Chain A
């Protein structure tokens, strides 16, 4: 809502306050003013002029040489390029020395040999937005609609001395979608009276024969419809004051009739519509729901296909307006219109909103009906407009209001105690103060023993319950005057759940390992998903995505992590390690009917060097075992007390020979692996490793309890063995056999070498282990260790054909 400061002064006395001061007051009490803009964008020395003579430039077809009376002794010769300039017009003249917006200064000039002493201006040149300039002047210079005095300062004439407040209204304050509403609001803040516009009683000379009939079929959608007829109007441009008032409010002047309806719309917040009665097609107004598929061409020239949920105004047969949204082109007021059918109606917000949304058509009217107009001002607005039309367009109002009326105009009653107000706010406001506030708001309030009975004016549709009234009291009392207290509430132990605490633990661990945390979008493409997950039926898609790129909910964190690697790689950052902990969405339904399962995944992606020490020449590219080490560290950090295994696995998108499935107590909880070269190629990535774990499953495991173990008092004995085994024997199997045979004395086994190649039979590999023997009760002798160690060696050979490497 754009509010002209000058216009506002018609309704409330605010001479003592600047537009900025008004804006600050409004903002502080809850009607936010985004910005206050001066209408004058830097214009100076601009006067009204009368074109006394206008001739074609002898040297240039498109230029005119005009003699303009600018109120000085001599006429000013001005060369003008506008096609619409002509003799006897009243125009805007920027004199020599004048300034235009942007700091442009007008100088005496010679155009193709002709002296030009100034410039005849368009409204755009004065800083008006092109879309607000009346159409007939949009391509050329502006002409005053009536005579003005040459030499007169144009700044007040064109309202350039005004300031406009741009309100950023919250949806509840639709009352401030009108000048009167804003005036009431300022009145409440300042404690001042509002002056209502004078509505002249229509001299009703009822002509029964000429009166239209009104009937309403859709009674819930339209509880009130009023029609008035104004005869013998002359359509012409509006007077200057009306044009400039509308432009300041952001509305383009069209003609005197349409401009009046817009003016009253802004003044009362009540949308009106003027039909051309001859074009209307009948003398019968029928308000009904549209037929399914019924069509109407709206004023903007677009053909709209309607449904049975939309409300239309018809002439008994066909629609002539989309109720509360926009009029139809078939009944539009035009230059030759002589009889006006003026509509002032109340349409239900839900119906208007439905049509406006379905058709993607928003208008000043729909914005107001959607939120509910004041039922007590519908008819008044109509009468006001009818009187103004007859005044400005010269017509006669020929009938009283023909109406259908089932409108509830009752005021809401709210009862509230002083105690309740103070209890909710934490204040100690007294009765008198509260009474004064209700007075300022112009809410009728009866007080009885600190109980207030309030009648809420119908212009304030947002106020219905106690809490609403308390807010009114609070904002006028001033939020600044509410004290700051600490609640009496019971002391509660705050904290994180176990799962939340573990999430933080995992983050700290991964940070300590040197991996940056990434955060990605949940919406992705089905295509990216398919590189990791072949099923597609259960993918969750948005009904109306804004783009394909953000159309599907992710089931894995990997694609976006790979996007991030790729983004960095394209910027020359080649060594990147990222992790993300975030939600993924899975369902078993082909068409979603219930909420999907939301899991938290923990995933990582790595490319390039894992570490590098530049001047010492150390370089270690990331590989499977770097990532496995990180995952093992994570499991250790979470102290998972369960059987954990890494099994060779084949997973879509990953390298078939370099992928492991992580199993906890036999249940798969995630994967580690190298990206399949084809997948890597899809992202233009080099050798890349990833992991993806189901965080909830990891966090759900029992935790190992920390218990002190006595520190061994007797020395340990280490024996190293290098074994030759078939290359397909897994290190884990060998280790298991060693553990099993080593018995109680064997405390620890560690693999320390893997060898394959020269000096070994093909198909064989060598694994070297270090075995640590220890007895907590005594120092072991060489002989005692040898007995066990031999048993291990024999067992290794028997069970897996492992021989000692010579």
Chain B
């Protein structure tokens, strides 16, 4: 009987080994371990055995059952793993195919420059002021120390609508408007971004419409050295820590003394190149101490208050920052241009 059991065990294990599916294993289980299976059959003959033999056979039978059961379980697991592996293999994809793009609209480069500059000055305690684009002669010229017939009016060829109404040629009128609102009390700390207009033929470097950012700080005891100090902060934050500044005497009717601000050329580091016309410096904005007449017309007492003002061209800043070579790109809205700025 023991031999028979041993035989059955070997036979069953061989079948398990050969099985190729879970179904086959199930059949083997029923066939060998079921109530009608050969092991049970063998045990039925136990009655004929001696009392000594019985436990041995019983033990042997249990061992055989256990061995077969373990083997089936192991095999089952192996088959499941194989089946899963097969399934995963079938599910494999080409990971090099492009992903589904997320959408991102582009910020216009001019907006980007304006917001960056706004944020730098907001950080220094400035607020953002705005004003109308159709201005009166008074705010655009006269209140800025440009009386009628002043030769400097030629510097800015103007689009007139009537003899008194015009498209503003600069964002400076916002200076007077803001000063008036302060009713002669400082400090006034504003920057004013906006569109301005001049009678220029559109070409690579001229545009009849462009954007400016005006800045104004009026308070008691403001000095020209403060203007230099604030520019140093601004330039390092906008253009980079390694950039140097210099002021050059200039002329604007609404400031006295007046200065152009130059920034050291990023391309050559100051040694001279084509971008900076071999000078090592790039002109970035006009500025100066607010002219006493302008303070007076804004309702401030020039004996008590002083201040500085500056104005910069947004297109120029964007052109310098992104290496854009034609100002008309800003107003064409070619999506091949715009989409380049989706990261800015």
Asked if A and B bind, the verdict is: yes
The yes or no answer to B127 lying at the interface (CB within 8 A) is yes
Residue of A nearest to B131 (CB): A598
- Tell whether, in the assembled complex, residue B149 and residue A353 are in contact, meaning their CB atoms are under 8 Å apart: yes
Interface residues in A551-607 by Cβ distance below 8 A to B read 553, 564, 567-568, 571, 573, 576-579, 582-583, 585, 591-596, 598
Instruction: Check A301 for interface membership: any CB of B closer than 8 A.
Output: no
Complex Cα distance, B148 from A354, in Å, reads 11
Cβ proximity bits A153-166 to B, threshold 8 Å, 1 near / 0 not: 00000000000000
Partner of B249, one of A30, A523, A571, A613: A30
Proximity bits, B72-114, A CB within 8 Å = 1, else 0: 0000000000000000000000000110100111111011000
**B250: chain A residues within 8 A (beta carbon):** 30, 32, 170
Partner of A542, one of B124, B161, B224: B161
Chain A nearest CB, measured from B298 CB (Å) = 15
| Cross-chain contact of B124 among A172, A475, A494, A515 (Cβ < 8 A) | A494
B233 CB → nearest A CB, Å: 8
CB under 8 Å from chain B, chain A span 334-370: 349-350, 353-354, 370
B226 in complex: contacting residue of A426, A545, A577, A592, CB < 8 Å: A426
If the complex has contacts A485-B225, A487-B222, are A471 and B122 also in contact, measured as CB distance less than 8 A?
no
CB within 8 A of A425: which of B135, B223, B233, B336? B223
Which residues of A lie under 8 Å from residue B316 when comparing CB positions? none
Residues of B within 8 A of A541 (CB): 161
- Cβ contacts under 8 Å, A543 to chain B: 160-162
Report how far A354 CA is from B246 CA in the complex, Å.
38
Q: Contact: A577 with B133, CB < 8 Å?
A: no
**Nearest A residue to B147, CB-CB:** A350
Q: Are A497 and B187 in contact (CB under 8 A)?
A: no
Q: Does A617 contact B (CB under 8 A)?
A: no
Is A537 an interface position by the 8 A CB rule? no
Question: For A468, what are the chain B residues with a Cβ–Cβ distance below 8 Å?
Answer: 256
Q: Which residues of A contact B256 (CB under 8 A)?
A: 465, 467-468, 470-471
* B62-70, B151-159, B263-271: which lies at the interface: B151-159
**Cα distance, A342 to B243, chains bound together (Å):** 57
Q: In the complex, are the beta carbons of A426 and B225 less than 8 A apart?
A: yes
Query: Looking at chain B's contact residues, is the secondary structure mostly helix, strand, loop, or mixed?
Result: mixed
Q: Say whether, besides A467-B289, A596-B134, A27 and B128 are in contact (CB < 8 Å).
A: no
Whether a CB of chain B sits under 8 angstroms from the CB of A709 is no
Segment of A67-75, A388-396, A506-514 in the binding face = A506-514
Given known A-B contacts A30-B249, A482-B224, A523 and B332 have beta carbons under 8 A apart: no
Contacting pair A171 B105 (CB below 8 A): no
Contact across chains for B336 and A573 when beta carbons are under 8 A apart: yes
* A424-B108 contact in complex given A514-B103, A520-B333, C-beta closer than 8 Å: no
- Contact bitstring B28-60, A, C-beta under 8 A = 1, else 0: 000000000000000000000000000000000
Report yes or no: B162 in contact with A593, Cβ–Cβ below 8 A.
yes
The verdict on A489 contacting chain B, using a C-beta distance below 8 Å, is yes
- Residue of A471, A491, A598 with most partner-chain B CB within 10 A: A471
A495 touches B (CB below 8 Å)? yes
Instruction: Judge whether A173 is part of the interface by a CB distance below 8 angstroms.
Output: yes
Whether the pair B128, A496 counts as a contact (CB closer than 8 A) is yes
Instruction: Answer whether A487 and B160 are a contact pair too, CB < 8 Å, given A494-B127, A521-B208.
Output: no
Partner of B136, one of A489, A492, A595: A595
Q: Give the shortest distance, in Å, between B144 (CB) and chain A (any CB).
A: 14
List A residues 608-649 near B (Cβ within 8 Å): 611, 613, 615-616
Q: Which residues of A have CB within 8 Å of B184?
A: none
Tell me, in angstroms, the Cα distance from A611 to B126 when the chains sit together. 41
When distances are taken between beta carbons in the complex, the residues of chain A under 8 Å from B334 are 567-568, 571, 573
Interface check A519, CB cutoff 8 A: yes
Q: A479-B248, A511-B104 are in contact. Are A518 and B122 (CB under 8 A)?
A: no
User: Do B107 and A595 touch across chains, with their CB atoms under 8 A apart?
Assistant: no
Q: How far is the CB of B259 from chain A (nearest CB, A)?
A: 6
Residues in B neighbouring A174, C-beta threshold 8 A? 151
> A489 to nearest B CB, angstroms?
4
On chain B, the residues within 8 Å of A354 by CB distance are 149
Interface residues of B in 214-228 (CB under 8 A from A): 217, 219, 221-226, 228
Q: Kindly state the separation between the CA atoms of A583 and B135 in the bound complex, as whole angstroms.
A: 14
Report yes or no: A487 in contact with B106, Cβ–Cβ below 8 A.
Answer: no
Tell yes or no: A483 within 8 A of B by CB. yes
List B contacts of A545 (CB < 8 A): 159
Q: How far is the CA of A486 from the CA of B122 in the complex (A)?
A: 16
Docked complex Cα distance between A616 and B226 (Å): 60
Which of B6-14, B17-25, B193-201 is the contact stretch?
Answer: B193-201
B331 near A521 with CB under 8 A, answer yes
**CA–CA, A592 to B162, complex, Å?**
7
Given A518-B108, A519-B333, do A28 and B248 touch, yes or no (CB 8 Å)? yes
Q: Roughly how many angstroms separate A595 CA and B126 CA in the complex, as a whole number? A: 28
**Interface residues in A449-479 (C-beta closer than 8 Å to B):** 465-468, 470-471, 474-475, 479
Task: Give A395 Cβ to nearest chain B Cβ, in Å.
Answer: 36
User: B320 to chain A: closest CB distance in Å?
Assistant: 18
- Tell me the minimal C-beta distance from B266 to chain A in angstroms: 20
Query: Looking at the complex, which one of B134, B247, B249 makes contact with A553 (CB distance below 8 Å)?
Result: B134
Contacts of B175 in A (CB 8 A): none
Interchain CB contact under 8 A, A523 and B209: yes
Chain A residue contacts of B224, Cβ below 8 A = 424-426, 474, 482
Whether A496 touches B122, Cβ cut-off 8 Å, given contacts A349-B151, A542-B160, A611-B103, is yes
Least Cβ–Cβ distance between B304 and chain A, in angstroms: 12
* CB neighbours of B127 from chain A (8 A): 492, 494-497
**Beta-carbon contact of A171 and B108 below 8 Å:** no
Residues 156 to 205 of chain A near chain B (Cβ within 8 Å): 170-174
Is A485 in contact with B201, judged by CB distance below 8 angstroms?
A: no
- List the B side residues contacting A510 at CB < 8 Å: 105
A171 touches B154 (CB 8 A): yes
What string of 1s and 0s marks CB contacts (under 8 Å) between B265-298 and chain A?
0000000000000000000000001011000000
**Is A480 located at the chain interface by the 8 A CB criterion?**
yes
**B208 / chain A contacts, CB cutoff of 8 Å:** 521, 523, 546, 550
A44 and B159 alpha carbons, distance in the complex (Å): 50
A487 to B107, CA, bound (A): 34
CB distance from B230 to the nearest CB of A (A): 7
A82 CB to closest chain B CB, in angstroms?
39
Q: Is B323 close to A, CB under 8 A?
A: no
- CB interface residues, B 163-201, toward A, < 8 Å: 165, 167, 186-187, 189, 195, 197, 199, 201
Q: Please, how many angstroms separate the alpha-carbon atoms of A521 and B211 in the complex? A: 11
Select one of A485, A507, A571 contacting B228, CB under 8 A: A485
Q: Which residues of A contact B336 (CB under 8 A)?
A: 571, 573
Given the known A-B contacts A482-B224, A484-B225, A613-B100, are A489 and B217 also in contact in the complex, defined by CB atoms under 8 Å? Answer: yes
- 26 A-B residue pairs with Cβ-Cβ distance under 8 Å, sorted by A, are A170-B250, A353-B149, A425-B224, A426-B224, A426-B228, A471-B256, A475-B257, A479-B249, A480-B246, A485-B228, A489-B217, A489-B219, A494-B123, A495-B122, A497-B127, A507-B107, A513-B105, A516-B339, A516-B342, A518-B108, A519-B330, A543-B161, A543-B162, A567-B332, A576-B335, A592-B165
Told that A487-B217, A523-B209, A596-B134 touch, could you supply 9 new A-B pairs with CB distance under 8 A? Answer: A423-B223, A426-B226, A482-B247, A490-B219, A512-B105, A514-B104, A515-B105, A519-B110, A578-B335
Closest 7 CB pairs of A and B: A426-B225, A514-B103, A30-B249, A426-B223, A170-B251, A471-B257, A564-B333
